[in-house]
């Protein structure tokens, strides 16, 4: 009520009334302005300069100020302003750089009063002082602002922004001496009208030109700016540094901004390009316009509230040559059409969902969330007193907290750590991994592993026969000798390895029958493997392999076979089986002892194999078996399923364990994608070792090369602390030997191992030996070094 | 030139070398204005090689079409090679008829923009965007227009810098292989390694082009010899209109070297005096009604993201180039070019143009801006004796940018009108 009374007092006796209406202009408008009593509006443009009276239901042309047969460029207006104190006084900014004042009280047809041609470039803006009758300010493309006293022929002061073109100047509504200027380079400056030498304050408001600014009519500290960067910002100027308090993102560059009278948080904007609408924003709700006027067919060039105390009437001029009066009640409210539902995930997997209260309550059969459903209904009630508020939307916000346990990734970490990806026979790996999964209560994964084992394992496994131990015992020595022979004949390490794999397969498959000797061997293997893995710290992989091959082959040849399971053997075997033209003995062979046949297939020319395979001929034939490749499509689907489901761990683990069996079925890009995702996950959980192992075991070149990057170690000289550029052991600058072995006191050239705790170290061998006998640092520093 | 600037230039060249395998003659000419060169290269790289709605071969083909309008052998050649390098179909290079119909549709707007940009109308845009099998999307069209305008104006620059009009030099071209397209011999080291000893004949040619070429004095100081050598040859390439006579070793280069007239229709169309007549329905283009800063930028940036900033940067840097010219003279040149292209500034007194620009300079500007076509008889002798070489480069840059902006303004205004309609 109080507000209403204030409005009526301000409006005086003649309260404004009207309706949404428009009139055609002859030409595009560039700017409009109203007189103080809101009864007339002036429209200015390149080819138009007219005054219209605002009547109850129409615009009536009162006066055409554009006179003369061939009007000069002085009539081509970029901006116009009607004085708010003196109702006969107008000022225009001409595109040719002139500032013109017009006196409507003149008796002649030409109302031009004064002409200031001091600006060299287009004048973008003119502004009368809100309370001072004779003070006029102009801002021009040439970068200057000029203050005119209308009683004098020239400007009284010139302000140089030292920036680029001035786009807008506005006197503060409350501070008598202050005005704001906005610039093409994104700056806004505050000036004291009495001090033309230097601005009081400057800040960068936008990227790109600031096209407009407007002081809040009531709040003295607030300045709204609009720029080409499509933003409207509200600045609090009362603080030392201009503080951005609100920001509205629009969809096009902001050409004009005008605070709405009597509404503290409302402002109207229009755009210079592309977007023809006028928006009224509540700056507190910057994501959706409070109201929209969509009448214009071309860009809106001028907007003005009809009366400085009446928020219901907005006038606008446009390039489409129309002048509109918009009634606020006729505005479109985008919020009505907006979708009041929202959905968002929180950092810890919480899910927030907001929807209209009505929608949610009507949904009675909504089940509580199993993981502990907590609802936080939040109501946004606005005073339903008038339409002047944001549409009264009450929405309910539900927050679904996910169960912490179900969300935690412990299973991932454990699985990653416990899974075995290599180093054992295939079936064992599967069994192990199945067990791991089972213990982590992931039955599906566990079953998958078991099924994989069944699908891809040697069929001999499934039907253990009585003569197995026999054949095994028989084969073993033979294999040994065979391997040796091969070595002698100079075969490559690979084929040897494969061959021995075939063997190992056999061994494994017969583990269950209970050959104690073999199982012992296997256990041994496991141990040595483990220690090997740890001992890797200094050696390259290749080296290690070689060592193993040569050193261990003799005592238990089953060992290193298991390193890389020879998947090829199986596929090849099946190829052969499918191929009827294959030699007789081969087929037979394969049927008998599939483990060896793989080797055969690969090196059919080698006679020793044949002889060997003949031994186990007594084994029964396994006729009703499906080739492993039969399952490949299913497995491929399964892998994709897991990957899609987000369990890329499973996909990658299976991929590695199955190795060649499945690799060709899946395109490299997908594989690479899985690998990278999994490695990324592992690294996020800081499972460096596992991730390294995965990288090592992957067959994608793009992945394996991850281990090859940034392998450079830069060393600084221990004396002069400078980087050692050339050689690792002698410093170029101080000519001191930098790295001396703490044990033998000689220069270490080559592998240098040092304790990360005390930084002492030396030859790998020396340190290793030293630490066997002593726990302390060989340098005598007293540090308890640990070399693992 | 200051040391820092030198380094800046060599850094830019290095970058260009790394990414493109060559530093073209144009960049080397611009090297006297490093800060401009930087934004120029960035824009060019962006529109030809970076993200955008058009496929890469299309972009180069459009560039070929644009350069062909002005019979700019150099640019046609350059983009033909790049066209093939990015996997363009060599058949297209046989001529416009061999190109896809979508590209052929561009011919009209190419023609208009190149010679009489004020004729660009909403209807042209409409014809291209008209739904159908061969229609363009708005974003594609904007990129195409930017490339067209860029290449048209670059033709002006190439033409303007090619000051050696000594006809004798045309016949003798000792080294036929255009060096721009030989991938820079990166194995021999980078551009900073001075090459030893040029052959005597190369010395002679270098001196000749040193005398004549506008920028060589500066260039010599800051670019290393290897670059100079190549530039020399490139200069010769520029001068050599009769490239056909040279031996081409590679098939690709044979194709590359396509006669520009294949890519154009209506070869007689050229610039006509823009005169404002009352009965003429071509209105004068008023910058105050449609300016780059207010309108063009927003539109082009909306339809082809980031290009607005890059172009803005170019326009800005060309106006802030340090030079002997006074700001007034610069503005006079700029506005004069816009004026001959039908763009007027309300706030400019065109009398100033006549005061500040001598008749020779005006003729020069006009012929470079409007007739950058060496096959036609030049309107005036292309010599700017009173100007220092780097100043002449500066004038050429101004011409290029003013022309670029003018074409963009016309095209973008037409697109705006289309969008409103």
The whole domain housing B349 covers: 285-420
- Do the Cβ atoms of A46 and B293 come within 8 Å? no
**Residue B339 reports pLDDT greater than 80:** yes
Q: Identify the closest residue of chain A to B320 by CA–CA distance.
A: A164
Segment A280-299 mean pLDDT: 91
pLDDT value at position A40?
A: 92
Nearest CA among A644, A656, A210, A740 for reference residue A416: A656
pLDDT tens for A484-523 read 444 444 444 444 444 444 444 444 444 444 444 444 444 4
Q: What is the mean pLDDT of chain A?
A: 74
**Residue B25 reports pLDDT greater than 60:** yes
pLDDT value at position A482?
A: 41
Residue in A122, A272, A273 nearest the CB of B288: A122
**Residue A688 reports pLDDT greater than 90:** no
What whole-number distance in Å separates Cα of residue B357 and Cα of residue B362? 6
Whether B306 maps to a domain, the answer reads yes
pLDDT tens for B299-337 read 999 899 889 999 999 998 888 887 777 888 888 999 999
What whole-number distance in Å separates Cα of residue A352 and Cα of residue A142? 53
pLDDT value at position A664?
A: 79
pLDDT tens for A548-578 read 444 444 444 444 444 444 444 344 434 434 4
Poorest-pLDDT segment among A8-12, A145-149, B225-229, B278-282 = A8-12
What the block records as the tokens of A238 is 């009362």
Nearest CA among B94, B79, B64 for reference residue B181: B79
| A650 vs A7, more confident | A650
Percent of chain B with pLDDT over 70: 69
pLDDT value at position A390?
A: 64
Which pLDDT band, with edges at 50, 70 and 90, does A227 fall under?
Answer: very high
- Do the Cβ atoms of A228 and B297 come within 8 Å? yes
Whether B214 maps to a domain, the answer reads no
- Which residues pair with residue A324 across a beta bridge? A22, A316
What the block records as the tokens of A248 is 């509205």
**Residue A598 reports pLDDT greater than 90:** no
pLDDT value at position A354?
A: 82
- Residue from B296, B331, B334, B346 whose CB has the most chain A CBs within 10 Å, to mutate: B346
Strand, helix or coil for residue A655: helix
Q: In Å, what is the CA distance from A74 to each residue of A26, A98, A716, B348, B351?
A: 18, 6, 75, 13, 18
* Domain total of chain B: 1
Strand, helix or coil for residue A628: helix
- Which residues pair with residue B343 across a beta bridge? B285
| A325 vs A339, more confident | A325
pLDDT value at position A564?
A: 44
- Do the Cβ atoms of A272 and B297 come within 8 Å? no
The domain limits of chain A are 18-336, 339-364+374-401, 413-456+628-707, 715-787
Whether B328 maps to a domain, the answer reads yes
Q: Does A275 touch chain B (CB under 8 A)?
A: no
Q: What is the CA radius of gyration of chain B?
A: 21
Whether B233 maps to a domain, the answer reads no
Q: Does B300 touch chain A (CB under 8 A)?
A: no
What whole-number distance in Å separates Cα of residue A330 and Cα of residue A44? 26
Whether B331 maps to a domain, the answer reads yes
Q: What is the mean pLDDT of chain B?
A: 74
- Do the Cβ atoms of B294 and A184 come within 8 Å? no
What whole-number distance in Å separates Cα of residue A495 and Cα of residue A599? 8
Poorest-pLDDT segment among A300-314, A660-674, B110-124, B164-178 = B164-178
Task: Confirm if A726 and A715 have CB atoms less than 8 A apart.
Answer: no
**Residue A382 reports pLDDT greater than 50:** no
pLDDT value at position A324?
A: 92
Q: In Å, what is the CA distance from B363 to each residue of A647, B327, B336, B381, B398?
A: 73, 20, 11, 9, 15
pLDDT value at position B374?
A: 65
Q: Identify the closest residue of chain A to B347 by CA–CA distance.
A: A96
Percent of chain A with pLDDT over 90: 23
Task: Confirm if B13 and B191 have CB atoms less than 8 A apart.
Answer: yes
| B361 vs A584, more confident | B361
What the block records as the tokens of A9 is 């007092």
3-class SS string, A93-145: EECCCCEEEEECCCCCCCCEEEEECCCCCCEEEEEECCCCCCEEEEEECCCEE
| Packing angle, helices B359-370 and B327-340, rounded to 10 | 50
Q: Identify the closest residue of chain B to A98 by CA–CA distance.
A: B347
pLDDT value at position A725?
A: 65
- Do the Cβ atoms of A95 and B347 come within 8 Å? yes
pLDDT value at position B380?
A: 53
Q: Does A508 touch chain B (CB under 8 A)?
A: no
Binding-face residues of B in 335-354 toward A, CB within 8 A: 346-347
Q: Does A74 touch chain B (CB under 8 A)?
A: no
pLDDT value at position A183?
A: 93
Strand, helix or coil for residue A80: strand
Domain A715-787 has CATH 3.30.40: yes
**Residue B257 reports pLDDT greater than 90:** no
Domain A18-336 has CATH 3.40.50.720: no
Q: Does B305 touch chain A (CB under 8 A)?
A: no
Whether B217 maps to a domain, the answer reads no
Strand, helix or coil for residue B190: coil
The residues of B annotated with a catalytic role in the active site are 72
pLDDT tens for A240-276 read 888 899 999 999 999 999 999 988 899 999 998 888 9
Which chain A residues touch B416 with a CB distance below 8 Å? 273-274
Which pLDDT band, with edges at 50, 70 and 90, does A212 fall under?
Answer: very high
pLDDT tens for A65-96 read 888 777 788 888 999 999 988 889 999 999 88
A–B: how many Cβ contacts below 8 A? 56
Q: Identify the closest residue of chain B to A93 by CA–CA distance.
A: B347
Segment A583-595 mean pLDDT: 41
Residue in B294, B347, B420 nearest the CB of A121: B347
Residue in B288, B302, B420 nearest the CB of A95: B288
The helix, strand and coil proportions of chain A, stated in percent and rounded to the nearest 5, come to 35, 25, 40
Which pLDDT band, with edges at 50, 70 and 90, does B146 fall under?
Answer: very high
Q: What is the DSSP string of A14-49?
A: S-----SEEEE-SS--SEEEE-TTSSEEEEE-SS-E
Which chain A residues touch B351 with a CB distance below 8 Å? none
C-alpha A337, offset from chain centre = 30
| B338 vs A339, more confident | B338
**Residue A524 reports pLDDT greater than 90:** no
C-alpha A588, offset from chain centre = 60
Q: Which residues, in sequence order, are CB contacts of B293 under 8 Å at separation 6+?
A: A184, A209, A228, B312
Percent of chain A with pLDDT over 70: 68
Segment A183-191 mean pLDDT: 92
Q: Does A301 touch chain B (CB under 8 A)?
A: no
Of A175-184, A436-445, A643-652, B195-204, the range with the highest mean pLDDT is A175-184
pLDDT value at position B375?
A: 63
- Do the Cβ atoms of B419 and A274 come within 8 Å? yes
């Amino acid at each position: 009520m109080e507000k209403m009374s204030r409005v009526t007092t301000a409006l005086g006796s003649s309260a404004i009334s009207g309706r949404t209406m428009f009139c055609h202009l002859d030409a595009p408008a560039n700017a409009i302005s109203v007189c103080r009593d809101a009864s007339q509006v002036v429209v200015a443009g390149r080819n138009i300069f007219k005054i219209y009276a605002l009547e109850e239901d129409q615009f009536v042309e009162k006066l055409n100020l554009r006179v003369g047969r061939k009007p000069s460029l002085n009539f081509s207006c970029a901006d116009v302003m009607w004085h708010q104190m003196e109702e006969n006084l107008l000022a225009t900014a001409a595109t040719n750089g002139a500032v013109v004042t017009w006196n409507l009280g003149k008796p002649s047809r030409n109302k031009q009063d004064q002409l200031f041609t001091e600006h060299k470039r287009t004048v973008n803006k003119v502004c009368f002082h809100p309370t001072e009758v004779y003070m006029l300010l102009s801002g021009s493309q040439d970068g200057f602002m000029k203050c005119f006293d209308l009683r004098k022929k020239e400007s009284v002061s010139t302000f140089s922004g030292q920036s680029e073109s001035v786009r807008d100047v506005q006197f503060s509504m409350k501070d008598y001496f202050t005005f704001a200027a906005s610039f093409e380079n994104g700056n806004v400056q505050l000036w004291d009208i009495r001090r033309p030498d230097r601005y009081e304050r400057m800040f960068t408001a936008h990227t790109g030109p600031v096209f407009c600014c407007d002081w809040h009519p009531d709040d003295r500290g607030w300045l709204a700016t609009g720029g080409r960067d499509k933003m409207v910002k509200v600045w609090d100027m009362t603080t030392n540094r201009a503080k951005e308090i609100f920001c509205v993102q629009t969809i096009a560059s902001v050409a004009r901004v005008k605070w709405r009278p009597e509404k503290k948080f409302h402002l109207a904007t229009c755009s210079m390009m592309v977007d023809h609408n006028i928006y009224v924003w509540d700056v507190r709700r910057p994501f959706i316009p409070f109201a929209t006027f969509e009448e214009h067919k071309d860009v809106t060039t001028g907007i003005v509230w009809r009366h400085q105390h009446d928020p219901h009437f907005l006038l606008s001029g446009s390039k489409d040559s129309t002048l509109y009066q918009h009634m606020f009640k006729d505005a479109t409210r985008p919020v009505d059409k907006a979708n009041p539902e929202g959905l968002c995930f929180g950092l810890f997997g919480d899910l927030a969902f907001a929807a209209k209260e009505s929608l949610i309550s009507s949904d009675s059969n909504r089940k509580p969330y199993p993981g502990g459903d907590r609802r936080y209904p939040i109501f946004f009630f606005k005073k339903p007193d008038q339409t002047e508020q944001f549409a009264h939307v009450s929405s309910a916000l539900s927050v679904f907290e996910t169960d912490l346990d179900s969300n935690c990734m412990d299973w991932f970490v454990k699985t990653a750590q416990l899974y075995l990806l290599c180093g054992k026979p295939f079936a064992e790996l599967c069994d192990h991994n199945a067990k791991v999964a089972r213990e982590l209560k992931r039955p599906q994964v566990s079953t998958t592993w078991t099924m994989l084992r069944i699908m891809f394992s040697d069929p001999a496994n499934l039907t253990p026969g009585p003569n197995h131990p026999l054949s095994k015992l028989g084969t073993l020595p033979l294999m040994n000798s065979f391997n040796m022979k091969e070595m002698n004949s100079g075969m490559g390490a690979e084929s040897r390895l494969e061959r021995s794999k075939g063997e190992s397969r056999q061994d494994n498959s017969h583990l269950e029958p209970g050959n104690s000797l073999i199982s012992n061997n296997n256990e041994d293997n496991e141990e040595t493997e483990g220690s090997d893995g740890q001992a890797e710290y200094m050696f390259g992989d290749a080296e290690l392999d070689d060592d193993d091959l040569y050193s261990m082959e003799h005592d238990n040849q089953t060992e290193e076979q298991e390193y890389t399971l020879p998947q090829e053997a199986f596929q090849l075997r099946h190829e052969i089986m499918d191929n009827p033209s294959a030699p007789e003995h081969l087929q037979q062979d394969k049927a008998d002892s599939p483990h060896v046949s793989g080797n055969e297939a690969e090196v059919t020319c080698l006679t020793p194999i044949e002889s060997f395979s003949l031994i186990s001929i007594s084994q029964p034939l396994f006729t009703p078996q499906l080739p492993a490749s039969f399952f490949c499509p299913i497995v491929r689907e399964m892998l994709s399923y897991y990957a899609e489901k987000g369990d890329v761990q499973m996909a990658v683990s299976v991929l590695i364990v199955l190795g060649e069996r499945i690799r060709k079925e899946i395109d490299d890009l997908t594989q690479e994608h899985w690998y990278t995702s999994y490695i990324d996950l592992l690294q996020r959980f800081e499972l460096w070792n596992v991730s390294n192992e995965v990288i090592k075991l992957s067959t994608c070149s793009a992945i394996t090369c991850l281990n090859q990057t940034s392998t450079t170690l830069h060393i600084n000289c221990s004396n002069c602390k400078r980087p050692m550029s050339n050689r690792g052991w002698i410093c170029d600058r101080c000519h001191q030997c930098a790295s001396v072995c703490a044990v033998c006191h000689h220069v270490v050239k080559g592998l240098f191992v040092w304790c990360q705790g005390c930084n002492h170290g030396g030859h790998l061998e020396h340190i290793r030996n030293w630490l066997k006998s002593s726990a302390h640092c060989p340098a005598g520093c007293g540090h308890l070094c640990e070399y693992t | 030139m200051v040391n820092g600037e030198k380094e800046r230039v060599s850094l830019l060249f290095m970058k260009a070398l790394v990414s493109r395998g060559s530093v073209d003659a144009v960049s080397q000419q611009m090297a006297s204005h490093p800060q401009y060169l930087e934004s120029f290269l960035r824009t060019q790289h962006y529109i030809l090689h970076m993200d955008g709605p058009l496929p890469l071969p299309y972009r180069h083909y459009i560039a070929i079409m644009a350069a062909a309008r002005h019979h700019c052998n150099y640019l046609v050649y350059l983009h033909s090679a790049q066209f093939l390098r990015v996997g363009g179909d060599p058949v297209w290079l046989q001529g416009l008829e061999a190109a896809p119909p979508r590209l052929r549709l561009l011919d009209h707007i190419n023609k208009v923009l190149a010679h009489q940009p004020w004729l660009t109308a909403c209807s042209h845009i409409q014809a291209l965007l008209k739904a159908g099998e061969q229609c363009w999307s708005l974003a594609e069209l904007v990129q195409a227009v930017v490339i067209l305008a860029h290449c048209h104006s670059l033709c002006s620059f190439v033409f303007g810098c090619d000051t050696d009009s000594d006809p004798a030099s045309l016949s003798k071209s000792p080294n036929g292989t255009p060096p721009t397209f030989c991938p820079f011999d990166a194995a021999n080291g980078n551009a900073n390694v001075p090459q030893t000893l040029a052959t005597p004949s190369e010395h002679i040619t270098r001196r000749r082009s040193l005398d004549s070429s506008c920028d060589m004095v500066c260039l010599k100081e800051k670019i290393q010899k290897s670059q100079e050598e190549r530039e020399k040859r490139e200069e010769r390439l520029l001068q050599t209109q009769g490239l056909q006579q040279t031996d081409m070793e590679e098939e690709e280069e044979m194709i590359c070297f396509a006669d520009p007239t294949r890519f154009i229709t209506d070869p007689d169309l050229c610039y006509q005096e823009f005169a404002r007549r009352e009965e003429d329905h071509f209105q004068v283009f008023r910058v105050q009604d449609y300016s780059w800063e207010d309108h063009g930028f927003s539109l082009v940036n909306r339809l082809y993201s980031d290009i607005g900033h890059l172009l803005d940067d170019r326009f800005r840097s060309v106006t802030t180039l340090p030079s002997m010219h006074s700001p007034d003279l610069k503005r006079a040149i700029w506005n004069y070019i816009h004026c001959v292209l039908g763009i007027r500034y309300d706030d400019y007194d065109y009398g100033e143009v006549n005061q500040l620009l001598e008749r020779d300079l005006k003729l020069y500007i006009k012929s470079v801006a409007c007739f950058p076509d060496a096959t036609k008889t030049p309107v005036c002798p292309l010599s700017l004796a009173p100007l220092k070489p780097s100043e002449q480069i500066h004038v050429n840059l101004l011409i290029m940018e003013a022309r670029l902006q003018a074409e963009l303004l016309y095209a973008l205004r037409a697109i705006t009108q289309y969008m409103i309609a």
